[in-house]
Amino acid sequence: MLKKSKIAEVVPGAVEGARSATGSALGAAAEVKRWSANRKKQVVLRLLRGEPVDAISREVSVPIYRLEEWRERALAGIDAGLKERENDPLEAKLGEATRRIGELVMENELLRKERQARHPLVNRRSSK
């Protein structure tokens, strides 16, 4: 859609008050990129190596607060990955319980369908 400014010039695709990720006016960062997990990982690795966050922010056109969020999420993921145990007996019991619950739910549904096929009007109310 075209918007007209007060001085009668047409600005194609302009949205009033729109700004890029760095806060500059439209057109400065004309290329809008989608941040894949791999691209975010590369930026976070640079941050963890000690590169200045403000320099990376300007280079990749992402606000500093967003880069810091990415870094915190990455560190939380690292912590979770390192806390994981191999052959954890609790995880094995939980998996077995979940499997058994699934079996019981399936059995319950099959019995309900079988009962309904034998006596289809048992659970209905009368129309009186």
- Domains of the chain, residue spans: 1-32, 35-84, 89-117
Cα dihedral: 18, 24, 30, 32 (round 10): -70
The pLDDT, as a whole number, for residue 122 is 65
The pLDDT, as a whole number, for residue 54 is 93
Residue 11, strand partner residues: 3
Q: Is 57 exposed, middle or buried (0-12, 13-18, 19+ CB in 10 A)?
A: buried
Q: Which residues of 76-95 are buried (b: 16+ CB within 10 A; e: fewer)?
A: eeeeeeeeeeeeeeeeeeee
Q: Which of these, 48, 50, 60, lies nearest to 22 by C-alpha position? A: 60
Distances (CA, A) of 119 to 30, 43, 123: 68, 64, 9
The pLDDT, as a whole number, for residue 17 is 41
CA distance 7 to 13: 17
The pTM of this model reads 0.45
CB atoms within 10 A of CB 44: 19
Per-residue pLDDT of the chain (128 residues; tens, 9 = 90+): 444 444 444 444 443 344 444 444 444 444 556 889 899 999 999 999 999 999 999 999 999 999 999 999 999 998 888 877 777 788 889 999 999 999 999 999 999 999 888 877 766 666 66
